[in-house]
Amino acid sequence: MKFEPKNNHVELEIKDNIFIIDPMAAQAKAEEIQELLKSSIAGKENTLVNDAILKDMTSSAKKCIDLLLGKGTSDKLFTEKDSYYDVMDVYFFITENVNKKCAEKNAEYKDKK
């Protein structure tokens, strides 16, 4: 009997760049990412979004992407013209695929019981 390792990483193409992510390492950063996203709006929940809040929210989202893809990645992916939604679209694309891979692996292990 021979063991053949599987590809347990997530490979993503974002703006013509290929990123290989360890899904469990990404999920291990979930608490830090949640804190970053919360901190950008902490105490401002009942305030209309203004330029300063939007800039802070966008900066926090970029930091989350850097945590997932590597330091400095968001600077390579985004320009000043990219909006908050552009950044969040990339963030959700990453997390959606990481979560999907983790769910697949969990189902695979559950089926082996």
Q: What domain range includes position 84? A: 30-42+49-111
Give a yes or no: residue 16 inside a domain: no
Give a yes or no: residue 18 inside a domain: no
Give a yes or no: residue 61 inside a domain: yes
Is 20's pLDDT higher than 90?
A: yes
* DSSP single-letter state for residue 19: E
Backbone angles phi, psi at 14, to 5 degrees: -130, 120
The SS3 call for residue 94 is helix
Query: Of 24-33, 42-51, 61-70, which gets the smallest average pLDDT?
Result: 42-51
Give a yes or no: residue 6 inside a domain: no
Is 111's pLDDT higher than 80?
A: no
Q: Which residue has the higher pLDDT, 113 or 108?
A: 108
Average pLDDT over residues 6-27: 95
Work out the mean pLDDT of the chain and round it to a whole number: 92
Is 113's pLDDT higher than 70?
A: no
State how many domains the chain has.
Answer: 1
Give a yes or no: residue 5 inside a domain: no
Q: How many CB atoms lie within 10 A of CB 110?
A: 8
The whole model's pTM is what? 0.87
Give a yes or no: residue 1 inside a domain: no
* DSSP single-letter state for residue 1: -
